[in-house]
Structure 1
Amino acid sequence: MPDPLHSDPLNDELLELALEAARRAGTLLRDGRPADLGVASTKTSPIDVVTEMDLASEKLITGFLAEHRPDDGFLGEEGASVPGSSGVRWVIDPVDGTVNYLYGLPSWSVSIAAERDGETVVGVVAAPMRGETYQAVVGGGAFNNGERVHHRPAPPLSQALVATGFGYVAERRAGQAEVLRTLIPQVRDIRRGGSAAIDLCDVACGRVDAYYERGLNPWDLAAGVLIAREAGALTGGRPGQPASHELTVAAAPALFEQLQPLLDDLGAWHD
């Protein structure tokens, strides 16, 4: 675990709160999923759904955090938006991988990040169906169930196992398919898991060599990007830019330096 001699008391507090909030939400989602789970609403398209459990999870998380830190801000996928006055903002995805959750597939997670003055300092991703919780504090390394993790040594691009994801709007999906058509002969293979937060943690744990996706929102990437970076991976967007809605890339440094410019040339950052 991180060296207590070099820890920051506020970051430690934020981490403990994030871990407990994610644990509670994960338990609710795992144990409380109704057999006839229905869709509460749709977002960008009929494929991009919100279930009743997304809403219940976000309410649980924001309620727990506000009880302990009432002056903090919130940014949540399902509508939580509070500016706060403490300089701390929580960025929350109450179910990352909602379609997986809806269908009873195991690759879904709860993602909670804490920002201080705009910098992500704490990230927690709980994947209850894996029995795993990933965590990182800025400068303190990345951990899975308390064990330190590190990215895989960078392979040649031709031997890289690359995770990705697709948007919900048909036009974006068509563009992403075209990028993939050109990319797939140049790598070992592609994986599409359905939870961006888990994909980023899989880079951190060495389960895939790289991950990229267009269209992520702050709640999709905030915790996972910190965890991947603290595991030694490089993260970013287009060359010279941070990970963003436009493009998110994470990989071991030597592989990142090959993959990022290739994705830029292929137009993975635009529809």
Structure 2
Amino acid sequence: MSETLLQAAGVTASDADLLSQTVSAVREAGSALRERFGEVVSYETREELMSALAGNDDAALEILRPALTRLRPDARFVEDELAGGALPSGEWWVVDPAEGNVNHLHALPEWAVTATLVRDNQPVLTVVHVPLTGETYTAVAGGGAHLDGRPLRVSPTTDLGLGLVATSQARPDENDEVVRRIGSSITAMLFDALVVRTSVPATLHLVNVAAGRLDAFWQFAGARADLLPGALLVTEAGGQISDAQGRPWTPQSESFLAAAPGVHAQAVTTLSR
């Protein structure tokens, strides 16, 4: 989206320029990860797995951290991409240097690089770049959601029974209660929706909701880095965000739902059983 159009939508020139420079940084980090992508990375222990994941994170952060710090010197970084809950006041960069990192290690294509600027616990702008397709999704609060400059709109579907929906596992080693909630919710959606997809990462489901390709996405538990980029994209594309019971969502919520307006209430009913 051009800076002129962003300003016409009420977005300040500083935020419009910041978005453009954030896109450049995220794309550069994506290129670094693409160079590391190809063969399945083998590991035999949890320690070897964590080391391989950290290698990808570090390669992207070597680019993202200095670039984003130059853009907003006073903004702090969220160090743990799996962390949730509210942030202290002020500006924070919530970055996932390799969203879907485990897919990258397994030579699967579903992974991305994300960066979201959060100001006083409200996402201001976000960039999601998918290196293997070259797609870049962007959103600015009040300025709409876009894919490579083209406006995004959520699905017009009004019947959950005709809907394609998705869910994701927020992190490994979830507690027993969360695992059971995930399982029962999938069962409920298998009865009420047309097709249910289950895969990681959450962000790539959420960009599909924003683009109108999916009708709804839900998740139990979750991290800020998983959900904030998609929450802003879906909201700016005309979708609805809540927890699974239909209450306002915050990073402290125990569940998350993003849906086209026409199926949101039906999805809440299904997930509230």
Structure 1 length-normalised TM? 0.86
1:260 aligned residue (250, 261, 268): 268
Aligned to 1:122: 125
CA distance in 1 between counterparts of 2:237 and 2:29 reads 25
Aligned to 1:148: 151
Q: How many angstroms does 1:49 deviate by?
A: 7.6
Structure 1 gap ranges (5+): 266-271
RMSD across aligned C-alpha pairs, in angstroms? 2.9
CA distance in 2 between counterparts of 1:248 and 1:242 reads 7
Give the 5 Å matches for 1:196-211: 196-211=202-217
Structure 2 vs 1, CA of residues 176 and 69 (structure 1 numbering), >3 Å: closer, same or farther? same
Aligned to 1:158: 161
Q: Which has the higher contact order (CA 8 A, sep 6+)?
A: 2
Aligned to 1:214: 220
State yes or no: 1:247 paired with 2:261. Answer: no
Structure 2 length-normalised TM? 0.85
State yes or no: 1:7 paired with 2:11. Answer: yes
Is the 8 Å Cα contact of residues 209 and 251 (structure 1) preserved in structure 2?
yes
Structure 1 residue ranges (4+ consecutive) displaced by more than 6 angstroms after TM superposition = 46-49
Give the 5 Å matches for 1:188-199: 188-199=194-205
SS in 2 for 1:154: coil
SS in 2 for 1:130: coil
| 2:234 maps to amino acid | A
Aligned to 2:58: 55
Aligned to 1:32: 36
CA distance in 2 between counterparts of 1:70 and 1:52 reads 25
Residues 6-56 of structure 1: CA deviation (Å, up to 9, x unaligned)? 3312321331232112101110001133746466x959xx79983411222
Q: How many angstroms does 1:133 deviate by?
A: 0.6
**Percent identical:** 30
Structure 2 vs 1, CA of residues 209 and 34 (structure 1 numbering), >3 Å: closer, same or farther? closer
Q: How many angstroms does 1:243 deviate by?
A: 4.8
CA distance in 2 between counterparts of 1:202 and 1:216 reads 18
CA distance in 2 between counterparts of 1:89 and 1:175 reads 31
Q: How many angstroms does 1:3 deviate by?
A: 3.8
